Structure 1
Amino acid sequence: MKRRLSLLPLLALAACSQPPPKVVDAPSVLPPLEREAARIMPERRFAHVDYLLVDKSERMMIGYAGGQPVKVWRGLQFGDRPQGHKRFEGDERTPEGRYVIEGRNPGSAYHLSLKVSYPNRADRAYAAQFGRSPGGDIFLHGQPNALPFGRVPGDWTDGCIAFSNDEIEELWRIVPDGTVIEIRP
């Protein structure tokens, strides 16, 4: 009986205690693209990327090599009206969809630039039904050459995707022409 009585305070204490906190797997609570970025291993070596995935809402781009994420760029800058797919020349929107890097301009007004293949056939057809131009000259590029240092604040392009000058120099080296770029809302 004495032994049972000595266990009572321990049982009462155990009954009042909180269950251990539920452990949440941090990557599962992140947005999908952030989960993908979290898979990047810093020691993974790569010479170039073969696929670029841009998420406009996250202002992030992930570079892939051989199907594996190898590099992430954050803080992307877009056109003055970043929401929605580019439809017409002058709408200051950044296109959405699947395109390719189709060239490069070392003499760009924006510290190096990689040309995106916008507009595609669907983009041209959409604009044509309204008698308008879909626009063009969409690039991944650095900051304006006239800017002495730093970054232009906010969204400022006419539909391009802007990076820091150091970032566009890296992209220039690792993104070959023909690389697929998918731009998501």
Structure 2
Amino acid sequence: MAADEATTNFLNSSANNQFSTRYVGGYRLYTNSAMSVGVQLFAGGNAWQTLSDSTKKERRVLADGNQFLARINQMRLGSWNYIGQSPDTMRHYGPMAQDFYRAFGHDGVGRSGNATTINQADFDGVNLIAIQALYRRVLALEAENAKLRQQQARARQPEQPGTAAATTAALEERVRRLEALLVAQAQR
């Protein structure tokens, strides 16, 4: 158990073998000497912030969202529990690390992760790329749907004089009248 210098609300563990800390100024955990890789928990925060500053990144490669969707489709997604956990109270959802690594562990520049763990920042990134691809598909389908609705509306409108459809309809009417006259003359 560890705590900052605050003099109120002493921190006590609530269970045996528990790690408890309190630092009202937040936490910063870096995993390299340049302090460009790591996580932070801001003062008053309730979730880790992954360092993701664009100025700290290099060798960026754009992702093909449709390819990501196809890869996600091949993954074994479902519910599971860790060996030894009670399935009644500790069920989880998601992929197997091996599938995730096979699908997203190599991008042509280098390796990402490994076959037994999934980095939460990578998991979130894959999800955002897939969401973006789905959104782009929705936009394309909406545009196609709007175009088809316009074509359908034009097809339902009464034909205007001078249009090709009106000219064809007028010619067909003339042919019907001429045929009727011919039939009448042939019967006489």
When you count helix as a share of all residues, which structure comes out higher? Answer: 2
TM bucket (normalised to shorter chain) is under 0.3
When you count strand as a share of all residues, which structure comes out higher? Answer: 1
Greater relative contact order (Cα 8 A, min sep 6): structure 1 or 2? Answer: 1
Q: Which has the greater radius of gyration?
A: 2
TM-score, reference length from structure 2: 0.23
TM-score, reference length from structure 1: 0.23
